[in-house]
Amino acid sequence: MNQLKNKLEIKYKLLSYEELVINLDRLSRFKLPEESFNRVFNSIIYKNLIYPKYSKIDIEKLDPKIIGKIVEEIWNKSVANILAVKNINTVSNQVLKISILETFKNINERTKTYINTKLNFSDILKNIDYETAPINLKFLIKADKEFSDKKKINIDDLTLLRNKYSLLFPIKKLIIVEGITEEILLPVFANKMKSDFNKEGIFILGAGGKSKSPTLYTKVKDKIKIPIIFLFDSDAKEICTFLQDNIEKKDKIILIESGEFEDIISLNLLKRALNDEYKPATPIIKEELHIYKKMCENIENFYRTRHLGEFKKSKLSKIIAKNIKYNTDITNEIREIILSIV
């Protein structure tokens, strides 16, 4: 162990290009840094370090400075070997660090050590296709190009970059919703109202159901600097009351008073979207959207009576998103939600 502190006497196998890209993607997603950095760094030590060999339990007990040094060598030697680079470029490494520190707080010392490692992200990013890259990597790719000659980068630089290219990062606001419908449709409705969530750094996170929201909030509220906004269906009033008693001043709750998100979508939009998607099935008429109290039940009935297969909210949301064309497609309830968010 003492030998490692002074000089890295280690044997390891290099990371492949695909592994470097996957790990960089994991490090730069919107996730608590304690989770993303620990996962990536521990995995590299466990899978790539040949000597000395550590179990997963041993890795958890290792000095994070030692882990950081080992990962730094494996990572940078891998990049140099694959891409034939001689000098380590850490511009995008700095960019990721600034973005993380702007968004998250109370980061533990172990994770801070990992964040401060000098990993060569830049030369990997130069070889990633921008058009097909996830948005977190697009952010780093653009930053790497824009700031390659800049000696000092600050949060204002990154904010201007986000606004210029609609890059989402650095994230400035977190919206926690119940499910996939809101995740897909809120940004589309916002765009129709001339509000670009990516430009404004607004990230939408599906909680996977209203019952999971309090647990999620407890997990992140002391870790995130940015405002958190909850959007709930009308049947979540008890959960709203619980959260209201525990919520921080920067955070807030929006409640859909008249049901679920599907219940506040324009009937004309729903009718047009379904009929356009499912030609030549018998067109749906407005009366069929009033058979049941819940709109999802009416839509499910449409699928059933036309033998269109299983009704899935994710598929419906994508169909609706394609058909949002007019200002009248935005109901007052949806407009108020968007305005409350932005």
N-terminal to C-terminal alpha carbon distance within the chain: 52
Return the pLDDT at 137.
Answer: 98
Q: CB–CB of 273/322 below 8 Å?
A: yes
Number of helices (H), then strands (E), in the chain: 18, 6
Does 186 have pLDDT greater than 60?
A: yes
pLDDT of 209 higher than 90: no
Mean pLDDT, to the nearest integer, of 222-236? 93
Tens digit of each residue's pLDDT (9 = 90 or more) over 155-182 = 999 999 999 999 999 999 999 998 899 9
Structure tokens at 305: 């009576």
C-beta of residue 109 within 8 angstroms of C-beta of residue 34: no
Identify which has the larger pLDDT, 226 or 179.
Answer: 226
Cα–Cα distance measured from residue 294 to residue 309, given in angstroms and rounded to the nearest whole number: 20
Say what the pLDDT of residue 8 is: 66
Query: What is the C-alpha to C-alpha distance for residues 138 and 132, in angstroms, rounded to an integer?
Result: 9
Reported as a single tens digit per residue, the pLDDT across 107-127 is 999 999 999 999 999 999 999
215 pLDDT band (50/70/90 cuts)? confident
Residue 9 backbone phi and psi in degrees, to 5 = -100, 80
**What amino acid is encoded at 186 in this protein?**
L
Q: How far is CA 114 from CA 14, 129, 190, 298, in A?
A: 19, 27, 37, 52
Q: What is the 3-state secondary structure (H, E, C) of 28-66?
A: HCCCCHHHHHHHHHHHHHHHHEEECCCCHHHHHHCCHHH
Helical ranges in 169-266 per DSSP H: 180-192, 197-200, 213-220, 237-246
224, pLDDT greater than 80: yes
Task: Give the Cα-Cα-Cα angle 139, 141, 146 (nearest 5 degrees).
Answer: 95
Provide the CB-side half-sphere exposure for 182 (13 A, CA). 29
Structural element, H or E, at residue 263: none
For the stretch 49-105, pLDDT in tens is 999 999 999 999 999 999 999 999 999 999 999 998 877 878 899 999 999 999 999
How much of the chain exceeds pLDDT 70, in percent? Answer: 98
Task: Look at residues 39, 50, 53, 58 and name the one whose alpha carbon lies nearest to residue 13.
Answer: 50
pLDDT of residue 5: 47
Average pLDDT score, the chain: 93
**Would you say 43 and 26 are in contact if contact means Cβ atoms under 8 Å apart?**
no
d(CA 86, CA 9): 22
Tokens encoding 281: 């099935």
With vertex at residue 103, the alpha carbon angle to CA 201 and CA 100, rounded to the nearest 5 degrees, is 105
**Alpha carbons 333 and 114: distance in angstroms, whole number:** 45
Half-sphere exposure of 282 (CA within 13 A, CB side): 10
Residue 293, CA distances (Å) to 257, 259, 260, 298, 321 in order: 14, 9, 11, 8, 23
Task: With a cut of 70, say whether residue 3 has pLDDT above it.
Answer: no
Average pLDDT for 293-317: 94
